[in-house]
């Protein structure tokens, strides 16, 4: 019995069905979960439109005369986002049905580690027995007590796709990954964006050099980045919004987007009654094979707070099934997770990062190769970004890396392969790359580490 049909739930269902289990997925909002319907897929689809806008803006540099400024029809872009998300949810439903997985549209709560109560959307109340339960209920946007979304001008990231037109002046509160991605996208689409960041710089959780590139890129496209500015309240005022900061300053805009983190969907689910332990923030406590404190109950994805990414949710869900159904299983390893921030340029990371190497005292060397020196980058009119590699001193094994570039999400895969398979810098640099190509910079960075790893 799987509660939640996002990547944590539906990927688990496919594995369980493959291993011969009788599987039921209960989901209240639609297969694909927030990942497909409101978060990951919609945001990246909107960002695709923003990227094209940015490319058009810069087309003059490549000798293209577009004769007039392009304009985004946000209603059309949003319609595309919603259609694409619905279609992907439909594809997942079809896969479930092909694999013999039963899907119930409704809300579930736990009665015990072996029993689930379901209120279906059709209004029926059922109690179902299970040999094994997977909780994969995800998370929802956090809001502030003094900043309550109204779905019109004060918005969470799940509500922006109902906007009929581009916000004139959008205040984005929060400069983590979600805030930065939306701020960059709306500025590129044509809004005037004010990014309210409580920290010294945007993207405080990312590589410092990478975050600096993004902050400079944001300023260059005309965004107003307010650092060390904490929002205390957001209220409607006539046809706009007023954001009050904790130091008394006031920022006015037409709309406000709140991007201040997520809350796990674990409240009032009968978890305590079933003996499932949650931490002080409400996340389900799991071990590396996704077991909770209740025998036979597993959990996966955002509701566990473990590296809140769709790829990690899916892996946790699969691991739960392999473990509970007695298949071969390796505990979850987070060292080789590739992650990407979909700003322009993108920031992709994998493996060890500088602060972790410093904290653990790992004997490592690093190189940071600016991308503008790469021949393909020059041809593509790329003026910012870099490839950074970390390698172990002595053995030369690649430990991690950062790529800041357009489509860094694709370029990081070579580094991820090196990290996952413990390749050395010499193995990476002796692999042919296409000339000219951005990936040539990854090989070149590895080549530059050849002598320093021996030091």
- Please identify which residue in 13, 26, 364, 369 interacts with ligand FAD, judged by CB under 6 A: 26
The correct pick among 13, 14, 15, 40 for binding ligand FAD (CB under 6 A) is 40
**Residue 413 makes contact with ligand FAD by CB under 6 A:** no
- 35 interacts with ligand FAD by CB under 6 A: yes
176 binds ligand FAD (CB under 6 A): no
Of the residues 29, 51, 114, 206, which one makes contact with ligand FAD according to CB under 6 A: 29
Q: Min. distance of Cβ 150 from ligand FAD in angstroms?
A: 19
Q: Rule CB under 6 A: is residue 43 a binding residue for ligand FAD?
A: yes
Binding-site string for ligand FAD from residue 286 to residue 325, where x marks contact by CB under 6 A and - marks none: ---------------xxx----xxxx-x------------
Beta pairing class for 139-141 and 192-196: unpaired
Which residues are CB-neighbours of 256 under 8 A, at least 6 positions away?
A: 147, 153, 154, 155, 170, 171, 172, 173, 234, 241, 243
Measured from the CB atom, the residue of 226 and 309 that comes closer to ligand FAD is: 309
Tokens found for residue 189 = 């689409």
Residue 7 engages ligand FAD in binding (rule: CB under 6 A): yes
Near ligand FAD in 329-388, by CB under 6 A: none
Q: Candidates 85-93, 136-144, 196-204, 274-282 — which segment interacts with ligand FAD by CB under 6 A?
A: 136-144
Q: Which stretch binds ligand FAD (CB under 6 A): 1-9, 82-90, 125-133, 206-214?
A: 1-9
- Rounded Cα–Cα distance for residues 364 and 335 (Å): 16
Binding site for ligand FAD (CB under 6 A): 3-9, 26-29, 33-35, 39-40, 43-44, 107-108, 136-139, 157, 178, 265, 269, 301-303, 308-311, 313
């Amino acid at each position: 019995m799987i509660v939640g049909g996002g990547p944590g739930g539906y990927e688990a269902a496919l594995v369980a069905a493959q291993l011969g289990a009788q599987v039921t997925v209960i989901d209240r909002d639609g297969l694909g979960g927030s990942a497909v319907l409101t978060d990951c897929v919609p945001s990246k689809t909107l960002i695709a439109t923003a990227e094209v806008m940015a490319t058009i803006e810069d087309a003059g540099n490549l000798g293209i005369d577009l004769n007039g400024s392009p304009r985004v029809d946000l209603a059309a872009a949003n319609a595309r986002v919603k259609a694409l998300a619905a279609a992907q949810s439909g594809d997942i439903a079809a896969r479930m049905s092909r694999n013999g997985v039963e899907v119930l549209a409704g809300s579930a709560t736990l009665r015990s580690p072996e029993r689930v109560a379901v209120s279906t959307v059709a209004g029926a109340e059922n109690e179902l027995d299970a040999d094994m339960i997977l909780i994969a209920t995800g998370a929802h946007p956090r809001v502030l007590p003094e900043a309550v979304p109204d779905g019109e001008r004060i918005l969470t990231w799940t509500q922006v796709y109902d906007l009929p037109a581009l916000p004139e002046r959008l205040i984005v509160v929060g400069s983590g990954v979600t805030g930065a991605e939306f701020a960059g996208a709306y500025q590129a689409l044509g809004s005037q964006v004010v990014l309210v960041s409580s920290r010294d710089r945007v993207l405080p959780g990312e590589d410092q050099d990478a975050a600096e590139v993004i902050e400079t890129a944001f300023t260059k496209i005309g965004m107003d980045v307010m650092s060390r500015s904490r929002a205390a309240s957001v209220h409607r005022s006539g046809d706009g919004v007023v954001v009050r900061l904790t130091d008394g300053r006031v920022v006015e805009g037409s709309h406000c987007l709140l991007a201040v983190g997520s809350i796990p969907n674990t409240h009032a689910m009968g978890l305590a009654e079933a003996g499932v332990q949650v931490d002080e923030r409400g996340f389900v406590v799991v071990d590396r094979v996704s077991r909770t404190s209740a025998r036979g109950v597993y959990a996966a994805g955002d509701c566990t707070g473990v590296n809140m990414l769709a790829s990690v949710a899916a892996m946790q869900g699969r691991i739960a099934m392999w473990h509970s159904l007695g298949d071969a299983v390796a505990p979850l390893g987070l060292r080789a997770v590739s992650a990407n921030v979909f700003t322009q340029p993108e920031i992709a990371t994998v493996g060890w990062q500088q602060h972790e190497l410093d904290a653990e005292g790992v004997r490592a060397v690093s190189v940071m190769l600016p991308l503008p020196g790469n021949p393909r980058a020059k041809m593509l009119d790329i003026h910012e970004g870099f490839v950074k590699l970390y390698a172990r001193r002595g053995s030369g094994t690649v430990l991690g890396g950062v790529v800041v570039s357009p489509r860094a999400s694709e370029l990081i895969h070579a580094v991820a392969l090196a990290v996952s398979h413990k390749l050395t810098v010499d193995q990476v640099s002796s692999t042919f790359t296409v000339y000219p190509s951005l990936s040539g910079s990854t090989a070149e960075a590895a080549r530059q580490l050849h002598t320093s790893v021996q030091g």
